[in-house]
Amino acid sequence: MEKTSPKKWVIGNWKLNPYFQDAQALFQSITQHIEGQSLDCQVAIAPPTAYLAFFSAQNLPLPIVAQDISIVNGTGAYTGEISADLLKHANVNYTLIGHSERRELFGDHVERLQQKIKNAIGSGLHIIYCVGESLEQREAGHAKDIVIQQLQELKAVLSEDDWQNVIIAYEPIWAIGTGKTALPQDAQDMHATIRSYLQDHTTWANRISLLYGGSVKPENAVELAACTDIDGALVGGASLDASSFISIIQAFAQK
């Protein structure tokens, strides 16, 4: 019978780190650990764009995730862009979309994000769509409204079938790279809100993995993994250290 519960994921978001030799060593430490193990958790790495083709050519059971894609698709005279289609042909099947650093630092407003979602899904990529509120929005009591709004913006460009290629990552902006993690009950509360939104809007709700991100580390991974609606983690800083990342993987694999 087909499994209907969401798959568990731990994804390392390396951002603009590290230099190539260190990246190779880190990748090797992680793959050595997971190779041959039947972990009940899918591990993936989102390295900088410059390394995507190199890592995806390694032919390992470890999906390689792009950190972003272009608003244009296919090929053409678009100097500096990386399209969803190009990635698909380079054996990269996943991409983050809407990470708060793209939204805040690189001008990814709603229309750009929606174009990226359409390009990714249209080219057959799976997306990890990031949502999350700022500290100001949380303190004003608007956290849930903001996240629901971001989900509505996603839904507006998806067909019912497209949802099967979607993972959601809830990353409160105030918890990213700050060392402050959302309390497990607050994270669970938001994840339950997201699940409930999905239940109201798609038949795929119970299969969509909901990842938490924002200062996930070995010290808090077990508690976060224990939450009912947290199906995995999107890990930044701690994914750059093989032993920390492996501890987080183990926490979710044992959930």
Among 121, 214, 225, 250, binds ligand PGA (CB under 6 A): 214
Asked if residue 236 belongs to a known ligand binding site, the reply is yes
129 class by beta-carbon count within 10 Å (0-12 exposed, 13-18 middle, 19+ buried): buried
Could you give the CA distance from residue 26 to residue 18 in angstroms, rounded to a whole number? 9
Note whether 235 binds ligand PGA by CB under 6 A.
yes
Stretch that binds ligand PGA, among 86-94, 118-126, 199-207, 209-217 (CB under 6 A): 209-217
**Minimum distance from CB of 46 to ligand PGA (Å)?**
8
Rounded to whole angstroms, the Cα distance separating 85 from 235 reads 26
Restricted to residues 1-30, the positions that interact with ligand PGA (CB under 6 A) are 13
Q: How far from the centroid of its chain's Cα atoms is residue 20's Cα?
A: 22
Q: Is 99 part of the annotated catalytic residue set?
A: yes
Task: Indicate which single residue of 216, 224, 225, 248 sits in contact with ligand PGA (rule: CB under 6 A).
Answer: 216
For residue 13, list its beta bridge partners: 46
Question: Interface with ligand PGA by CB under 6 A: which range of 1-9, 69-77, 196-204, 208-216?
Answer: 208-216
Q: Which of 84, 87, 194, 234 binds ligand PGA (CB under 6 A)?
A: 234
Give the shortest CB-170-to-ligand PGA separation in angstroms: 11
Choose between 13 and 209: whose C-beta lies nearer to ligand PGA. Answer: 13
Residue 213 binds ligand PGA (CB under 6 A): yes
Listed ranges 79-87, 186-194, 196-204, 234-242: which one lies at the site for ligand PGA (CB under 6 A): 234-242
133 binds ligand PGA (CB under 6 A): no
Q: Which stretch binds ligand PGA (CB under 6 A): 62-70, 86-94, 213-221, 243-251?
A: 213-221
The residue annotated as part of the active site, out of 101, 133, 171, 191, is 171
Assign 3-class secondary structure to the chain. CCCCCCCCEEEEECCCCCCHHHHHHHHHHHHHHHCCCCCCCEEEEECCHHHHHHHHCCCCCCCEEECCCCCCCCCCCCCCCCCHHHHHHCCCCEEEECCHHHHHHCCCCHHHHHHHHHHHHHCCCEEEEEECCCHHHHHCCCHHHHHHHHHHHHHCCCCCHHHHHEEEEECCHHHCCCCCCCCHHHHHHHHHHHHHHHHHHCCCHHHCCEEEECCCCHHHHHHHHCCCCCCEEEECHHHHCHHHHHHHHHHHHCC
Is 215 labelled a binding residue?
A: yes
Q: Name residues contacting ligand PGA, limited to 164-183 (CB under 6 A).
A: 171, 176-177
**Residue 177, annotated as binding a ligand:** yes
Show binding-site residues. Answer: 13-15, 177, 215, 236-237
Show binding-site residues for substrate. Answer: 13-15, 177, 215, 236-237
Residues that bind ligand PGA (CB under 6 A): 13, 171, 176-177, 213-216, 234-238
The catalytic residues are 99, 171
